[in-house]
Amino acid sequence: MRMDPLRRARDVATLASRTARAAAVELAWIGAHVVLYPLGVLEEKARPESDRYSLHNLPPNQRGLFIGDVEAAGTPIVLIHGVVDNRSIFTVLRRGLRRRGFGRVQGLNYSPLTDDVRDVAGRLAETVEALCAETGYERVHLIGHSMGGLVARYYVQCMDGDQRVHTLVTLGTPHSGTYAARLVPHPVARQLRPGSDIIAELAMPAPGCRTRFVAFWSDLDQMIIPSGSARLEHPDLAARNVFVRGVGHLSLPIDGRVVHEIGSTLAHLDPDGRTVTAAVSPIDSGLRPARRPRGSAAAAEQ
């Protein structure tokens, strides 16, 4: 059955328009990110203890989450950036989370020139343990962009990190590898290629993994080839894949839909990962509620 030529032309025009908008946003954010990049080079300083547990000067949204669910508001969130980047990539997302009421959001910096996935995962483990000791919380949330998502996943699956990580959110992470990494002759890039030792290790069985996963992916992610490689599909992981249409790789952490969904997900979870608010999308579904058996990998798409 042949497609109507008029409809085909309309679809092509729509795709071209969406691609142009995504490219414009990506370029604008790259420009802003270049300005912010030097500010993200320095390691983040811990906030005073009194700032995290006081309602003084908190805006209504923050005060509401703190009063409504002090555990959700206080659970530490660690942000892990991607290749050739730093914590400044999360400037918009960090602000959105703090406005939502999350009191402890911290970035982890690393250098892809000297650290590979396993090395950074080891540093992440040390950071998480230090945060738990400092705050008194037994579990944390992780948000990883690009390679940062693989680092976080390696820590969870291969270093018993699921004992510490409640929810892991990945943004444009090459869970199945990306062919774009073949263009870069660097040891870290080799770990991001399809069939690498890291990708193979993460595909191995992970029975009993406690962490809940949310993987955001886009059809216009120019760094993930094919784009579907950013979906997390593993039979032993409780994973939810969220499709965000028309967003570039670097723009994922600033997209309003992504920021809102992350905030909603982390604000309405009980200790074993299920949602406790009826109006909020369940952890094991996509943006459109569609419940699936617990413990199975879901590939729900918007």
CB atoms within 10 A of CB 132: 15
Confidence class of residue 283 from pLDDT cuts 50, 70 and 90? very low
| pLDDT level of residue 288 (50, 70, 90 thresholds) | very low
Average pLDDT along the chain: 79
Round to whole Å and give the CA distance between 41 and 24.
Answer: 26
Mean pLDDT of 6-11: 61
Task: For each of the domains in the chain, give its residue range(s) and CATH number, in order of start.
Answer: 5-267 (3.40.50.1820)
Q: What's the pLDDT tens digit per position in 252-266?
A: 999 999 999 999 999
**Which of 125 and 277 is assigned the larger pLDDT?**
125
Cβ contact 40:84 at 8 Å: no
pLDDT tens string 138-194: 999 999 999 999 999 999 999 999 999 999 999 999 999 999 999 988 889 999 999
Indicate the range of 24-28, 142-146, 205-209 predicted with least confidence: 24-28
- Is this structure's pTM higher than 0.85? no
Number of C-beta neighbours around residue 204 at 10 A: 10
CA–CA dist 129, 241 (Å, integer): 28
* C-beta of residue 153 within 8 angstroms of C-beta of residue 175: yes
Question: Is the pLDDT score of 52 beyond 60?
Answer: no
pLDDT at 191: 96
Helix, strand or coil, per DSSP, at residue 242: strand
Quick one: pLDDT at residue 28?
60
What mean pLDDT do residues 77-91 have?
88
C-alpha span between 211 and 156 (Å, rounded): 7
Helices (H) and strands (E) in the chain, counts: 10, 6
The DSSP element (H or E) to which 7 belongs, if any, is: helix 5-36
pLDDT of residue 278: 46
Residue 160: per-residue pLDDT: 96
120-140 pLDDT, tens digit each: 999 999 999 999 999 989 999
pLDDT in tens, 228-255: 999 999 999 999 999 999 999 989 999 9
Task: Give the pLDDT score at 209.
Answer: 96
For residue 60, pLDDT over 70 is answered with no
* Beta-bridge partners for 78: 106, 142
- The dihedral sign for the CA sequence 130, 144, 240, 66: positive
Please report the pLDDT score of residue 83 as a whole number: 85
Average pLDDT over residues 186-206: 95
Examine the pLDDT at 203 and tell me if it is beyond 70.
Answer: yes
Q: Which residues contact 53 (CB under 8 A, 6 or more apart)?
A: 74, 103
